[in-house]
Amino acid sequence: MGGSRVVCTVTNPPPTSQDSTHPPPASGKGGLGKAAVGGATWTLIGFGGSTLIRTVGNMTITRFVAPDAFGIMALVNVTIQGLQMMSDVGLGTAIVQHKRGGDETFLRTAWTLGIIRTVIIALIGCLLAYPIASSYGNPILAPLIILASLSTMLNGLMSTSLFLASRDLKVHRVVMIELIMALVTTTTMIATAAIYPVLASAFVGIASLPTLPAWAASFVLRYLTNPVWALLAGTTMGLVVRCVLSFTIIPGIRHRLCWNKECRTELMGYARWVMLSTMLTFLTNQLDRFIIPKLLNNLTIFGLYSIALNFASMPMDVLQRLGSQVLFPVYSTLARQNRFTGEVYARVSFIILTLGAMAVAGLVAIAPGFIRTFFRAEYHDVAVILQVFCIVVWLRVLQYNSSSALLALGDNKVQASSNLYKLVGLAVFVAGGYWVGTHLSTAPLAGLFGAIAGIALAELVKYATLAFRWAKGDLLRLKPDAKATLELAVVCGLVVLTHALTSRLPAWLDMVLSGLVVLAMYSMVMYRALVLVAPHLPMKLPGPLARLVGASQKAEREAAAGGAA
């Protein structure tokens, strides 16, 4: 970067609403819709690819490490995520939403702020490492958190071109980077975990050297022989690859340090509610990962819970990506042009709820057979934990569309207030649910299930806050949510019945039959969603399907014309 001095000298750039280098997505007839559906399609492709990579990776890594390693790494990850989100000043969101988001001075100032922020995160993480390790009674957490904190500085160096791609709905390049990152991360984890027994033996040999000081030998034996380092190695290598690719795959501005006063003021002023909202978002989405291991006092069960969350995060990840990379940019563009209507929201809501419901029902359907088929016996409890947690997943699915719409309309306060209410709910309901669970049953997972019920209640509080703010007294606006929830309950009931009828069959056959039930029940709903998005798809449908969709659209137009007559 050529030193630490400020090399950007522009102090008062012209107040243009668009940057000629980075024009907004087309807003003409079909332009924005086509860009949105194209972005959504690429997001789903990226989700499918990264899900496949992650799933195969989890299946393989569990062959080499015990569940407690996943519990330890989950605590490391949630600590780093907490530092990142609690210091989030909304740089990416500002680039997507702000009228000067494509201006080079604005971008360079944002990049400079990002570097400063990640350096502060790294320092705080190093200072907190030993207190956190002491709190959980697990010394290995300290060096893991220190190295993970230092690796977060790579996020600050990452090019702002990733945010520009989302702003302009050029999602395919972002998806490409995410897929490569996921592949590198998983491959590194598997390779390191596979050879770690050899590495551990080598560390034991090093510790036994007579020339090695006693404190150094103790450190090697106590910390470096644990295979959890394989998980950290994969995560770090993924960050390196992502940082490099952000400069090479997505062409963008030439980054250099910039400290423009006007841009800095706008960014920090915009960040006021974003920082509060993201801080509360972290606490509300991740607080359970701090509370539950303390309540359980069992890293093995917490490791199983963490693996279940990895699977449960699949539909949440894709909807979050749709929200940040597609819904929010589209809604923001429409809001800037005063073209955001209830009809647009209703159509998008139908598609989002359909995708989310299918994903949740699919998890409930295939989890038991999948886990029993591909995982060792000590991991089989992951299936029932995942099925119970799907209640939480669906409540989060219901929040995504209204949250994106309210944020695009500039209602940042409701994001903060809804998260605050949820935070209070978590503080009360999770511990209370754990207490109720342990007093109702002595089963090993009873307390965990009670805690999950507490999380669900807190999510319900947040959903109600967002939903009623969006409805503004018109409860008919919430009809799509109620209908989708009822349909999902019916489908999940049929899936549970299928599991009961196929309990004596091989696990893989139970998985297939239960999955077919979900596909059959949602086939017509998915067809209706396809009819809505077909005109904007970035690729042609197969001939028979295209004719079927075309006939349906023609019938709808004729029916609409007849009603108007």
Q: Which residue has the tokens 């030993």?
A: 130
Q: Which residue has the tokens 């935070």?
A: 423
Do 214 and 302 sit in the same domain of this protein? Answer: no
Do 262 and 353 sit in the same domain of this protein? Answer: no
Q: Is residue 225 in a domain? A: yes
Q: Is residue 23 in a domain? A: no
Please name the residues in contact with 192: beta carbons below 8 A apart, sequence gap of 6 or more. Answer: 229, 230, 233, 234
Query: What per-residue confidence (pLDDT) applies to 524?
Result: 82
* Cβ 379 vs Cβ 443: under 8 Å: no
Do 203 and 338 sit in the same domain of this protein? Answer: no
Length of the chain: 565
Do 233 and 337 sit in the same domain of this protein? Answer: no
User: Would you give the distance in Å from CA 262 to the centre of its chain?
Assistant: 32
First and final C-alpha spacing in the chain: 66
Do 263 and 336 sit in the same domain of this protein? Answer: no
Q: Total domain count for the chain? A: 2
Residue-number span of the structural domain to which 78 is assigned: 31-275
Please name the residues in contact with 336: beta carbons below 8 A apart, sequence gap of 6 or more. Answer: 99
Please name the residues in contact with 132: beta carbons below 8 A apart, sequence gap of 6 or more. Answer: 75, 79, 141, 142, 145
Query: In whole angstroms, what is the distance from residue 245 CA to residue 53 CA?
Result: 19
Residue 522: φ, ψ to 5°: -105, 5
Do 270 and 304 sit in the same domain of this protein? Answer: no
Query: What per-residue confidence (pLDDT) applies to 26?
Result: 43
* Cβ 126 vs Cβ 96: under 8 Å: no
User: Which of 426, 485, 417, 482 is closest to 451 using CA atoms?
Assistant: 426
Q: Is residue 288 in a domain? A: no
Do 268 and 308 sit in the same domain of this protein? Answer: no
Do 315 and 235 sit in the same domain of this protein? Answer: no
Per-residue pLDDT of the chain (565 residues; tens, 9 = 90+): 333 333 343 333 333 333 333 444 444 445 555 666 666 677 777 777 887 888 888 889 988 988 889 999 999 988 888 888 776 666 776 776 666 656 778 888 888 888 888 898 899 999 999 999 998 888 999 999 999 999 988 888 888 777 777 666 667 777 888 889 999 999 999 999 999 999 989 988 888 888 888 888 888 888 888 899 999 999 999 999 988 888 886 666 677 787 777 777 777 766 666 666 677 777 777 888 889 998 988 888 999 999 999 888 877 777 676 666 566 666 666 666 676 666 767 777 787 888 889 989 999 999 999 999 989 889 999 999 999 999 999 998 888 777 777 776 766 677 778 888 888 999 899 999 999 999 999 898 999 999 999 999 999 999 999 888 888 877 777 888 899 999 999 999 999 999 999 888 899 899 999 999 999 998 887 777 777 665 555 556 556 656 656 666 666 565 555 555 5
Q: Is residue 500 in a domain? A: yes
Do 202 and 342 sit in the same domain of this protein? Answer: no
Do 256 and 144 sit in the same domain of this protein? Answer: yes
DSSP state of 476: G
Do 193 and 309 sit in the same domain of this protein? Answer: no
Query: What per-residue confidence (pLDDT) applies to 543?
Result: 64
> What Å distances lie between residue 121 and 90, 230, 531, CA to CA?
15, 23, 47
Residue 22: φ, ψ to 5°: -130, 75
Query: What per-residue confidence (pLDDT) applies to 187?
Result: 94
How many CB atoms are closer than 10 A to CB 244?
16
Per-residue tokens: 166: 């989302």
Q: Is residue 18 in a domain? A: no
Question: To which H or E segment does residue 287 belong?
Answer: helix 261-296
Do 266 and 347 sit in the same domain of this protein? Answer: no
Query: Among 275, 308, 330, which residue terminates a domain?
Result: 275
Query: In whole angstroms, what is the distance from residue 499 CA to residue 510 CA?
Result: 7
Q: Is residue 11 in a domain? A: no
Q: Is residue 25 in a domain? A: no
Query: In whole angstroms, what is the distance from residue 55 CA to residue 74 CA?
Result: 17
Q: Is residue 182 in a domain? A: yes
Residues paired with 22 in a beta bridge: 19
Query: In whole angstroms, what is the distance from residue 276 CA to residue 444 CA?
Result: 37
Burial group, residue 86, by CB count within 10 angstroms (0-12, 13-18, 19+): middle
Q: How much helix, strand and coil, in percent to the nearest 5, is found in the chain?
A: 80, 0, 20
Looking at this protein, which amino acid is placed at residue 191? A
Query: What per-residue confidence (pLDDT) applies to 518?
Result: 93
* Cβ 507 vs Cβ 368: under 8 Å: yes
